[in-house]
């Protein structure tokens, strides 16, 4: 397969030399199973996700078996430890199977492994307790072990076939005891037994490169040559270095070759989602600013029908937060897939379903990645503060996608879509621990050809954004949206146009009437948009002569220069929104420093003042959260007025009034435990 994909690596001595020379070498190929390696969907640079990727690959793939080798070092990681429970979610009727092979070779880089240092009995009981049927393959004689492993693999595959046949021939879809293999061999098995008078095989010393200086150490070089000759290559290859015909004939043909399996190049198998018309789910805009039921609840009805139209090709993943995040409408057409025991009061749990919920962000992410990498579609919904749990998994997938951009034979796969909600500005009931919008900062540093970040301010913009995300490929889309009742600002047609551009002037909220404004008030995020518009209404009422432009940003990457991001504005376009020399007050959903990093090289950046979350949080009211972090309407009015030159008496009076409002708010919220009526009942002036 490798020679088919890379014709210069011929199946002879020349090709072998070229392969060896480029391996783990500058300008060559990596030492791990990188995207450049045919047959790979999992590089394994960061440990912990092999088993969750394997399960993701076999969901809805009833004829696929994923054999997953788990090192005993990787088995110590938290994500992998939880992955053993994935068998409680695998339906033998509709899904494929995973055959875990736990490889015990006793050592990591410099330490023994836990699983290799507990008794055989304890190890067996542990995995039986997880619900597996362990088959042990143990020894150190290669030929004996080859025969034993082949026999055990046959038994495991036959066991899987019996389980699936029983379930698919009218049997009940009950949770079976799936087989697994525990393979115990010495570390560095078949390598040099001794090096420099010390044991190598069976010790931590055999980890990775055991002869680090072959060019300068002749004794090591001689040992190395002797070791290679022990494999008797003359019996395996002809004089030109090609594998002898009788051995070459043993290799499978076509897609039966492991490296040619189309599931490992998921774009070959990917089908476009059948998407309903998102405009049919729109909120009718009767009046700007009228309170709606919550953006995610509106989106949930669209998502319900996405699932209905793609019943074998789409899954929703979440760490026990689908209902909490306002997506309960999906249960009108599907259930949570659950193969564990069920009780009478369980809600929407069934052997087969499109919703995958387990209280492990790592498993949700890993399952979804495996599902996407094998050509299917999905969505991960998570609380904003806790999406950080998968920061490094996000990193690894972003690196994978970025690498595949330069590999012509890798076909594009469906995008990794995050719907992040229960966000910082509406977590007053849970408190400080649940308030962290920093995932956007983490995302920003990744390659521009991969990452996208969206902050739709209402229900209709969320519909438009998610429709675009579901149509995209080879991207990671981060969408931050609220689940609580919030004002609706855009008609569906306005939302579609606004989201396509990613940024826009809200002419209906601005007072500059197409002329150069005195100041710009910009916003990104649903709560910042609400507070910015409330501030704009105060300025309109009290300072009718102040010319104000209100700008809303949905696509955060529009703020980056076009030369750095394909969604970025040109400098000329940026100036059309933010002017060349007028003061800019920018209120942002996350940490304000991100706005400065996105725009630092822009014209007029020295006049931009960004405000966002300042790590001020507690259990409090929604509006008080904005006051604590100084992004409320009263502070925003002050920022805009203070940025104006030569302040009039009327402007000075407004500053004083805003201070009074803040003082009244502080007293009111402490006494009453809720926001003032003028905040709760505020409406956008028609």
d(CA 528, CA 487): 12
Is the residue at 126 inside a domain? yes
Tokens read off for 127: 């995995």
DSSP 7-51: TTS-SSHHHHHHHHHHBTSTTSB-SS--TTSTT-S---SSSS-HH
Q: Which of 480, 506, 529 is where one domain is finished?
A: 480
Structural domain boundaries, residue 595: 519-680
Q: Which of 458, 480, 502 is where one domain is finished?
A: 480
Q: Which of 254, 269, 294 is where one domain is finished?
A: 254
Q: Which residues contact 192 (CB under 8 A, 6 or more apart)?
A: 200, 201, 210, 223, 224, 227
Span 579-588, average pLDDT: 98
Task: Mark whether 244 and 306 lie in a shared domain.
Answer: no
CA distances from 354 to 308, 322, 501 (A): 9, 12, 33
Task: Mark whether 146 and 243 lie in a shared domain.
Answer: yes
- Helix 295-309 to helix 459-471 angle (10° resolution) is 30
pLDDT tier, 686 (very low <50, low <70, confident <90, very high otherwise): confident
Q: For 124-179, what is each residue's pLDDT tens digit? A: 999 999 999 999 999 999 999 999 999 999 999 999 999 999 999 987 788 999 99
Buried b (16+ CB within 10 A) or exposed e, 190-228: ebbeebeeeebbbeebbbeebbeeeeeeeebeebbeebe
SS3 state at 384: helix
d(CA 651, CA 649): 5
Task: Mark whether 461 and 531 lie in a shared domain.
Answer: no
Task: Mark whether 595 and 659 lie in a shared domain.
Answer: yes
d(CA 465, CA 296): 12
Is the residue at 459 inside a domain? yes
d(CA 44, CA 32): 7
Of 44-48, 69-73, 263-267, 490-494, which gets the smallest average pLDDT? 44-48
Task: Mark whether 292 and 247 lie in a shared domain.
Answer: no
pLDDT of residue 502: 99
Task: Mark whether 453 and 320 lie in a shared domain.
Answer: yes
Cβ-contact 554, 454 below 8 angstroms:
yes
Cβ-contact 459, 295 below 8 angstroms:
yes
Span 548-563, average pLDDT: 98
Task: Mark whether 135 and 73 lie in a shared domain.
Answer: yes
Neighbours of 657 (CB within 10 A): 15
- DSSP letter (8 states) at residue 107: B
Span 546-570, average pLDDT: 97
| Angle CA 391–586–284, to nearest 5 | 85
pLDDT of residue 45: 83
d(CA 274, CA 89): 25
Task: Mark whether 245 and 283 lie in a shared domain.
Answer: no
Span 502-516, average pLDDT: 95
Is the residue at 21 inside a domain? no
The domain total for the chain is: 3
Is the residue at 341 inside a domain? yes
Q: For 10-47, what is each residue's pLDDT tens digit? A: 999 999 999 999 999 999 998 889 999 999 999 888 99
Task: Mark whether 247 and 282 lie in a shared domain.
Answer: no
Q: For 195-252, what is each residue's pLDDT tens digit? A: 999 999 999 999 989 998 999 999 999 999 999 999 999 999 999 999 999 999 999 9
Is the residue at 265 inside a domain? no
Span 615-641, average pLDDT: 97
Neighbours of 572 (CB within 10 A): 9
d(CA 127, CA 183): 14
Task: Mark whether 445 and 558 lie in a shared domain.
Answer: no
Is the residue at 106 inside a domain? yes
Q: For 69-125, what is each residue's pLDDT tens digit? A: 999 999 999 999 999 999 999 999 999 999 999 999 999 999 999 999 999 999 999
| Angle CA 473–478–483, to nearest 5 | 125
CA distances from 682 to 234, 285, 294 (A): 85, 17, 17
Residues in the chain: 686
Is a pLDDT exceeding 90 seen at residue 54? Answer: yes
Q: For 631-653, what is each residue's pLDDT tens digit? A: 999 999 999 999 999 899 999 99
pLDDT of residue 429: 81
DSSP 555-598: BGGGGSBTTT-TTPBPHHHHHHHH-SSS-EEEEESS-HHHHHHH
Q: Which residues contact 566 (CB under 8 A, 6 or more apart)?
A: 448, 449
Task: Mark whether 237 and 307 lie in a shared domain.
Answer: no
- E-assigned strand segments in 465-526: 476-480, 487-488, 503-505, 519-524
Cβ-contact 51, 100 below 8 angstroms:
yes
pLDDT of residue 170: 82
Task: Mark whether 98 and 241 lie in a shared domain.
Answer: yes
Here the CATH number for the domain that contains residue 596 is 3.40.50.920
* Average pLDDT over the chain, rounded to an integer: 96
Tokens read off for 362: 């790592």
Q: Residue 1 burial by CB count (10 A; 0-12/13-18/19+): exposed, middle or buried?
A: middle
Cβ-contact 481, 526 below 8 angstroms:
yes
Here the CATH number for the domain that contains residue 421 is 3.40.50.970
Is the residue at 610 inside a domain? yes
Tokens read off for 18: 């070229």
Span 178-189, average pLDDT: 97
Is the residue at 3 inside a domain? no
Q: Which residues contact 469 (CB under 8 A, 6 or more apart)?
A: 415, 417, 452, 454, 475, 477, 479
């Amino acid at each position: 397969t490798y020679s088919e994909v890379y014709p210069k690596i011929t199946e002879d001595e020349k090709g072998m030399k070229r392969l060896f020379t480029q391996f783990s070498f500058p300008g060559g190929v990596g030492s791990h199973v990188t995207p450049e390696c045919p047959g790979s969907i999992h590089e394994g640079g960061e440990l912990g996700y092999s088993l969750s990727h394997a399960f993701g690959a076999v969901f809805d793939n009833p004829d696929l078996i994923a054999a997953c080798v788990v090192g005993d070092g990787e088995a110590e990681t938290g994500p992998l430890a939880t992955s053993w429970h994935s068998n409680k979610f695998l339906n033998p009727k509709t899904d494929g199977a995973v055959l875990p092979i736990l490889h015990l070779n006793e050592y990591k880089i410099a330490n023994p492994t836990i699983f290799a240092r507990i008794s055989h009995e304890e190890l067996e009981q542990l995995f039986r307790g997880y619900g597996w049927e362990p088959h042990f393959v143990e020894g150190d004689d290669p030929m004996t072990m080859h025969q034993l492993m082949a026999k055990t693999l046959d038994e495991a595959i036959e066991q899987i076939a019996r389980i699936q046949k029983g379930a698919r021939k009218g049997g009940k879809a009950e949770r079976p005891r799936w087989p697994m293999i525990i393979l115990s061999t010495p570390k560095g098995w078949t390598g040099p037994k001794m090096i420099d008078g010390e044991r190598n095989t069976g010790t931590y010393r055999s980890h990775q490169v055991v002869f680090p200086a072959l060019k300068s150490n002749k004794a090591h070089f001689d040992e190395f040559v002797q070791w290679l000759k022990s494999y008797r290559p003359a019996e395996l290859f002809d004089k030109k270095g090609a594998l002898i015909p009788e051995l070459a004939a043993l290799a499978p043909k076509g897609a039966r070759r492991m490296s040619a399996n189309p599931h490992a190049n998921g774009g070959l198998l990917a089908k476009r989602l059948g998407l309903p018309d998102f405009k049919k789910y729109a909120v009718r805009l009767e009046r700007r600013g009228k309170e709606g039921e919550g953006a995610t609840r509106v989106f949930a009805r669209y998502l319900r029908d996405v699932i209905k139209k793609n019943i074998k090709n789409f899954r929703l993943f979440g760490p026990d937060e689908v209902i909490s995040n306002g997506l309960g409408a999906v249960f009108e057409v599907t259930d949570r897939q659950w193969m564990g025991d069920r009780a009478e009061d369980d809600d929407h749990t069934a052997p087969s379903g499109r919703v995958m919920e387990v209280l492990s962000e790592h498993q949700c992410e890993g399952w979804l990645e495996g599902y996407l990498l094998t050509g299917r579609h999905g969505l991960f919904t998570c609380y904003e503060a806790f999406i950080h749990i998968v920061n490094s998994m996000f990193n690894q997938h972003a690196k994978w996608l970025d690498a595949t951009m330069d590999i012509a034979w890798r076909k594009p796969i469906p995008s990794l879509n995050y719907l992040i909600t229960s966000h910082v500005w509406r977590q007053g009931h849970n408190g400080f621990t649940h308030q962290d919008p920093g995932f956007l900062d983490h995302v920003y540093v990744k390659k521009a050809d991969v990452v996208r970040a969206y902050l739709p301010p209402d229900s209709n913009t969320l519909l438009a954004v998610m429709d675009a995300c579901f149509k995209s490929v080879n991207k990671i889309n981060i969408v931050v949206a609220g689940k609580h009742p919030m004002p609706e600002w855009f008609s569906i047609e306005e939302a579609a146009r606004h989201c396509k551009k990613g940024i826009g002037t809200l002419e209906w909220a601005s007072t500059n009437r197409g002329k150069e404004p005195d100041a710009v008030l910009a916003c990104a995020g649903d709560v910042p948009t609400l507070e910015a518009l409330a501030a704009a209404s105060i300025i309109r009422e009290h300072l009718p002569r102040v010319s104000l432009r209100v700008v809303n940003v949905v696509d955060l990457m529009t703020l980056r220069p076009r030369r750095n991001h394909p969604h970025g504005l040109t400098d000329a376009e940026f100036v059309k929104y933010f002017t060349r020399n007028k003061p800019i007050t920018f209120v942002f959903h996350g940490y304000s420093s991100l706005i400065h990093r996105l725009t630092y090289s822009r014209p007029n950046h020295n006049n931009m003042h960004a405000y966002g979350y300042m790590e001020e949080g507690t259990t409090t009211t929604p509006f008080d959260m904005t006051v604590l972090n100084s992004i409320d309407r009263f502070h925003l009015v002050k920022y805009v007025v203070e940025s104006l030159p030569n302040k009039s008496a009327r402007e000075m009076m407004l500053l004083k009034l805003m201070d009074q409002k803040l003082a009244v708010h502080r007293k009111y919220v402490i006494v009453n435990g809720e926001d003032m009526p003028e905040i709760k009942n505020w409406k956008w002036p028609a």
